[in-house]
Amino acid sequence: MSGSEIEELLERHGIKVTANRLLVAGALSDEDRPLSLMELEGKIGSIDKSGIFRCLALFKENHLVHSIEDAEGTRYELCRSHDADHDEDTHVHFYCEKCHRTFCLDDIHIPPVALPKGYDVRTANYLLKGICPECSGHRFA
């Protein structure tokens, strides 16, 4: 994503644009998989962990990031929804037990779950665990 696209995404989610927020959102947009706080800190370098965490907390509150709990802890990815009110970017994630990476399976959406009356779902995580194609030696075109 370009800088102007990231600015537009922040604004669409009601988040004031700042240099730190642009850096964190840009780092997330550069990756094709969710990143941990430590991975973000290493990738950005110019913002300390607490500054990155504050950005992520604000992003999560405004539905700009999804957080995924895998075997390693919490990972974050940009939500590609069109606005803060409707999250149409729910998809399955895959955790590789060998290389310890988590992958987005963007084309596989979380199936709807019929809940009893009175339950209000705020988020859903669907994590599959196993061995990724790279680690298993099965490369697909």
Model pLDDT for residues 102-115, shown as the tens digit of each residue: 888 888 888 888 89
Q: How confident is the model at residue 81 (pLDDT cuts 50, 70, 90)?
A: low
Pairing state between β 102-109 and 73-78: unpaired
Could you report the per-residue pLDDT of 54-70, keeping only the tens digit for each? 999 999 888 888 888 88
Contact between 84 and 65 under an 8 Å Cβ cutoff? The reply is no
pLDDT at 118: 94
Q: Both tokens of residue 37? A: 């706080």
Q: Which fold has domain 3-136?
A: Arc Repressor Mutant, subunit A (1.10.10)
Q: Which of 5, 31, 13 is nearest to 87 (CA)?
A: 13
Q: Is 18 helix (H, G, I), strand (E, B) or coil?
A: coil
Domain ranges of the chain: 3-136
Q: Give pTM, 2 decimals.
A: 0.77
- Which residue is it, tokens 């800088």? 3
